[in-house]
Structure 1
Amino acid sequence: MARTAVAQRFSDCQQLAESQWRQPLEQHLQQLLKRAAEAFDYRFERPTLMLNQRGTIAGSARLQTQVLRLNPVLLVAEPQAFIGQILPHELAHLLVHQLYGRVAPHGAQWQQMMESVFDVPAERTHRLDVSAVQGEMFLYHCGCQQHQLTIRRHNRVLRGASYRCRGCGEELQKLPNE
């Protein structure tokens, strides 16, 4: 039942993002491409923009296919962060790959693209509120603390996998339901 609600929310946000934010994103993408082309005197391939990223990831860049994927749920919640930070961040990955090939994902070339060309702080991670997209967490414990496992890791434990605490080295145990 919860999975259906999550899927419906994703679909609703995807439609809203397409109708309200596709055009501003595409326009800003074009502006960023123009800035980069002028800065490097290079004609960059225009990437495809998709609003289908899931989970807590705000966006991702597919280097081989020149695709930018943005999370519609997070986009609808904080559109200005996407236009100002997330879109330039992901685009910088693609443009750096076009210019230099395989380099460190957040290395000097990427930082230069972000700060000198796009005039955006070169931050590796976003600070968006992900509570709306974060799945259920399961409480486990060890000898020194409590741990929250994602549903994926919890299901792996149910199938026989085990995880150890990095602090004390003990195997994590599920906390009994209250």
Structure 2
Amino acid sequence: MINELDKTDIERRLKDLYAKAALYFNRSFPAPLVTYRRSGKHAGTAFLQQNRINLHPTLFAHNKEAYFSDVIPHEVSHLLVYQIHGRVKPHGIEWQSMMSDVFGCEPNTRHTFDLGPLQLKSFTYACACGPVELSVRRHNAVMRGKQQYMCRQCGARLTRLIEQPEPKTNCG
């Protein structure tokens, strides 16, 4: 789904980011391996010990500009922070500083991409704020009694909305 021209542009963006980091820290860093695999709702993922980032090909195809301005710097920041500081909070002060001071990016931790193109199955839960969609994985954890989820706005426990089955009709 990601063509060779896009891969070239991604490599160019990575070189630019690594050049900025090298200048800022006065040292070089090894370039990461880049993979392109679907990964749920994650736009990108950094694999710290492997020095690898994974980019979601479907979300990339629908949000190219945001990938170059936000997602790629976000994942590169994770790798560089690990190489400089070791294990720290994933979106802690070191990561935030890398994003803002080194790359001049807002240190946002979540994307707001339309997930419709992913065609993910979800289950509807709700609280007083309204409906919330949970992934199959999270729904299964609730069903097994292993997990409960809370609303990010009001803090209330999410409960499953049971959809009513379609009424059956007699055709004859």
| TM-score normalised according to structure 1 size | 0.77
CA contact under 8 A between 1:18 and 1:51: conserved in structure 2? no
The equivalent position to 2:90 in structure 1, one of 84, 105, 111, is 105
Contact 1:61 1:67 in 2 (8 A): yes
Partner of 1:175: 163
SS at structure 2 position matched to 1:88: helix
Percent identical among aligned pairs is 33
Q: Partners of 2:36 and 2:24 in 1: how far apart?
A: 28
Q: How many residues align?
A: 162
From 37, 43, 61, the counterpart of 1:76: 61
Q: Give the aligned partner of residue 170 of structure 2.
A: none
> What's the RMSD between the two structures over aligned residues?
2.8
> Per residue, is there more helix in 1 or in 2?
1
| Structure 1 gap segments, 5+ residues each | 1-12
2-side partners of 1:144 and 1:25: how far apart? 39
1:93-134 alpha-carbon deviations (Å, 9 max, x no partner): 000100011111111111111111111111111121112115
2:27 match:
42
Q: Which amino acid aligns with 1:29?
A: L
- Cα distance change on mapping 1:141 and 1:25 into 2, 3 Å: closer
**What's the CA shift string for 1:49-102, capped at 9, x where partnerless?**
111142210000000100000000011111111111100000000001000111
User: Which residue identity is paired with 1:97?
Assistant: Y
| TM-score (normalised: structure 2) | 0.79
Aligned to 2:137: 152
> Using the alignment, how far apart are the partners of 1:141 and 1:121 within structure 2?
31
**Aligned residue type for 2:111:** H
For residues 134 and 17 of structure 2, what CA distance do their matches in structure 1 show? 39
Q: CA–CA distance in 1 between the matches of 2:158 and 2:19?
A: 54
For residues 161 and 54 of structure 2, the distance between their equivalents in structure 1, rounded to whole angstroms, comes to 36
- The offset of 1:157, in angstroms, is 6.6
Give the aligned residue type for 1:103: V
